Amino acid sequence: KPIHIINGPNLNLLGTREPEVYGADTLDDIKELCVEVAAALDREIVFVQSNIEGELVNFIQAAGRDGAGIVINPAAYTHTSIALHDALKAVDVPSIEIHLSQPAKRESFRRRSYVAEAVHGTISGFGADSYVLGLQALSNLLDTND
């Protein structure tokens, strides 16, 4: 079963969105990177993005049905969404939260993550490498649980 990589709001604008914070890679660049890393790990991925909270809930539910696990960058919904928290708790597959930036050292409203309490662990602050590290961590976790 594939690993589902789920991306939240405004991540479709990566490349031009505050590049000093989020880097120069576009979401397509990051997707290609993830495809390569997944192939090296002998895994398949499903890579999706939405700006809409309910659609992200649907993506999480779909990953619970058809996926092996979830790597999620919930973007701003990290800091607001009980619906994403509940969805991640509702599915029976492991999930890892990732961020390009390090929210803990930014504005105080980014310090709270509602998602953190529903995931296995969090990787943040490594730019596009956070996706690579998240994929590797989840793949290891799945190997351990096999």
- Are 69 and 95 a contacting pair, CB within 8 Å? yes
Q: Respond yes or no: is residue 99 known to be catalytic.
A: yes
Q: Respond yes or no: is residue 114 known to be catalytic.
A: no
Q: Kindly name the residue from 4, 77, 99, 131 that is annotated as catalytic.
A: 99
Nearest CB to ligand DQA, comparing residues 44 and 117: 117
The Cβ-side half-sphere exposure at 113, using a 13 Å CA radius, reads: 21
Q: Is 101 annotated as a binding residue?
A: yes
Q: x/- site string to ligand DQA, residues 90 to 109, per CB under 6 A?
A: ---------xxx-x------
In angstroms, what is the minimal distance from the CB of 138 to ligand DQA?
A: 17
**Among 114, 6, 119, 140, which Cα is nearest to 60's?**
6
Ramachandran region of residue 18, left (φ > 0), alpha (ψ -120 to 50) or beta?
left
Considering only residues 1, 2, 10, 121, which one is a binding residue for ligand DQA as defined by CB under 6 A? Answer: 10
